[in-house]
A and B are shown apart, each in its own frame.
Chain A
């Protein structure tokens, strides 16, 4: 089982530094996870480290191909609450 990084990655290096398994390589056009090395952080940490620091929604997928940080999860605003948030912020 392994995670994957997809093209929305912005090559910020954050995941590479925190991976306990040296599974992440800096590459162009975007960083990559070497699946043979990725342990999903099993035994090291409760959460996969790369996905806990990655700033980009949707950039890291789980073994089933689903984004670990789906849309709205990192801004703190769920898509269905976006209209209310827009109103509040634009009133400032």
Chain B
């Protein structure tokens, strides 16, 4: 048996941390899509893992009102469907939003996508949303537009959406069964009335599904977001995934419910729990069989400006924008040159990847004629596709699965840092225990360095610490560790039995 390191380049890309525009999908997940769709997503920082290191997007907060209530949202803050809970964006008028977008586009030529995601539901604010879109389509035609919605008023806006330079629409769909919906949405505002409970959920679901169908019929890309709520829609999301795919959504992104009491949401206050990392991963696995899943999304801030984790928002505050004199026609020329350069670079990478795809990693002698179960490993990295972070400095780990089929990226695990500096180390023990909990299910953790104390605790927890692959590419290292485990007999049936007895 030979083990294939799948798309080493692409794996390197997926390892880079990007908190501002950090959602995307790896290229192998894209490969089954028809060419027309693939072309559309190629330059999209949210969908193409490759592009999201070169192109950037931004959001403008022009849409404050909402027409439904989700139990995981507190309307003091931004729409929880698109933003992290507890985030407040500076509300802009359409005019301010257009100015800001042009200023950013002129200064950051990599900015190719402008989104409206809140702070409420964009389509519950049709005038503000569409004025922004209308003006940008006319004044900055080289910028693609995107919008996200809860779907309630989507069908009546499809015509208008189709008139603009709309790249894609995101619909948050948490259920297709009104019984489930009644546990998520207490009410909607519909036909000038507040409608509650099951009746409300039924209307919302019908509108979402109809909107999805209409957009697909118009050839507009649709992405579906779902919030995984344990005990409410967890099993149900498998059906949702299947149906939205059948109807033509090109991506399904399952996000974990985040419910904390201090956010003041209904779920937070009532003690509804969010999913564990394993529950999220299991569901994503269950859905990915029949759906393009996004695993990279880290619930970006709605008004983030910039790329690769930088939030350059402070460069573009309202008063600074007012004083900027933007010659957009000139900016567009510069932008076109920059975009062309990036596209050439991407094309080159594509060629390189095709060459690399043929490279095989020779397997160890023990591996011959045998297949072994897959193993999850966590990796500490600060980017660049290599293992280059100290265990104690990692704020998140990337989880990979190694198996006979190669190495694949599974997802992110957030952790609290246990060692931020000298004076904060008092909390060390409990936070360290938290890191270890975040790694549950993993059998090894690869990092550049690791302290003595966590080493012992990790071993006790059945997670093998490994600092031997510092500065090495992630996928190769994960595969090597997998090989070592096989060679050492750790994955043999007997040792499995022993493990079970212990």
Contact = CB atoms under 8 A, between A and B. Distances in A.
Most chain A CB within a 10 A radius of its CB, from B65, B69, B197, B271: B65
A45 B75 CA distance: 25
Contacts of A12: 64-66, 75, 120
Given A14-B120, A17-B125, A53-B189, A92 B194 contact: no
Nearest to B71: A75
Nearest to B200: A76
A13 B64 contact: yes
Contact of A76 (B67, B186, B232, B272): B186
A13 B231 contact: no
Most chain B CB within a 10 A radius of its CB, from A17, A45, A46, A89: A89
B193 A55 contact: no
Given A13-B64, A92-B230, A76 B125 contact: no
Contact of B232 (A10, A52, A74, A92): A92
Contacts of A92: 230-232, 272-273
Interface in A46-85: 46-47, 49, 52-53, 55-56, 74-76, 85
A89 B64 CA distance: 29
B193 A47 contact: yes
A13 B93 CA distance: 12
Interface in B246-269: 266-267
A10 B75 contact: yes
Given A10-B76, A12-B65, A92-B230, A74 B270 contact: no
A28 to B, nearest CB: 12
Number of contact residues on B: which range applies?
Answer: 20 to 34
A49 B190 CA distance: 11
Interface in A25-52: 45-47, 49, 52
B309 to A, nearest CB: 30
B237 to A, nearest CB: 14
Contacts of A16: 65
A75 B231 contact: no
B65 A86 contact: no
B68 to A, nearest CB: 9
Contacts of B270: 85-86, 89-90
Contacts of A91: 231
A10 to B, nearest CB: 5
Interface of A: 10-14, 16-18, 45-47, 49, 52-53, 55-56, 74-76, 85-86, 89-92
Across the A-B interface, give the 3 residue pairs with the lowest CB-CB distance, nearest first: A92-B231, A14-B65, A76-B186
